[in-house]
Structure 1
């Protein structure tokens, strides 16, 4: 299972954590291999796999935020340790991202998106 897109909230926000549960079993932690407590459909946020300096998908008031996410089920991360995909935020794809504010109408008529695409490349060979 894959859920991806603009969740409009950062990784640490309660609204995002509803999808991937509390901390302690993320990719790269020792709890990753432990069974979840009653949730057969646990999702893993691929955000920690994005290089730290690139871990944002929009710029809000001059600060980078990651509000676009890719969450996957454990079946897409086989192996122990898990076989992880290559994940990146393409923040430099079309030049620099514009910094936005609370006023959504400020960018009306401007070309391009204020979000950078987040991608994950899986190797199933």
Structure 2
């Protein structure tokens, strides 16, 4: 009887591995608190970065955020962030620096949009 139990556990082991074996997901975490300003690259003849009004957000305590349109929650695993409730629901970002996020488009590619935590934030 015990051998059947051990055999069934051995069969289940391959299914307990992380869903993303490439290491793209990791430990749960939270973003540094403060205001994040979102922009796209400009060009050499004008501004280096072009602000995206209405796209900024503020990370509050725990895993919450707020925008001009309301508040919600996000989930951070490793360097990946997905907004799970609120006005940014479904948006995904990748943390590319200690204060920098890059938006991930619908095809799963890093877009040109970056969000930088404003200096002097909480």
**TM-score, structure 1 as length reference:** 0.25
Larger radius of gyration: 2
**Larger strand proportion of the pair:** 2
**Larger helix proportion of the pair:** 1
**TM-score, structure 2 as length reference:** 0.25
